Amino acid sequence: MAALATIALMQATVRGFDPSDGSGSVFFAEFGPDVFAASGLRLLRRGQRVAVLRGRSGAITALTLATLPLPAAADDE
């Protein structure tokens, strides 16, 4: 049960997205191209609702559209 307390599932709104490298940001945090690549999504648009999973460090470890289930993601250290 302690492991569950260190992972947060939440929704966010896309603030920006760079399709040339797959990096972007949501209104409370940023994510790298590796997180986007693992999502299976092709594109995000500003203002779009997404579901995000944050690891122990607070970094986003997975994201998907708010209406889809999150993919399994390894928690960061």
Nearest alpha-carbon partner for 65 in 52, 46, 74, 56:
52
The pLDDT value recorded for residue 76 is 47
The pLDDT value recorded for residue 8 is 58
Q: What are phi and psi of 32, to 5 degrees?
A: -95, 170
Total number of domains constituting the chain: 1
Q: What is the CATH number of the domain that holds 53?
A: 2.40.50
pLDDT, tens digit, 9 for 90 and up, residues 17-44: 999 999 998 887 778 888 888 888 888 8
Q: Token match 């399994």: residue?
A: 72
pLDDT of residue 1 exceeding 50: no
Nearest alpha-carbon partner for 63 in 11, 3, 4, 17:
11
**Residue 57: inside a domain:** yes
First CA to last CA across the chain, in angstroms? 17
Mean pLDDT of the chain: 79
Q: What is the 3-state secondary structure (H, E, C) of 50-67?
A: EEEEECCCCCEEEEEECC
The pLDDT value recorded for residue 20 is 93
**Residue 70: inside a domain:** no
**Residue 12: inside a domain:** yes
| Residue, of 60 and 76, whose pLDDT is higher | 60
Residue 47 belongs to domain spanning:
2-65
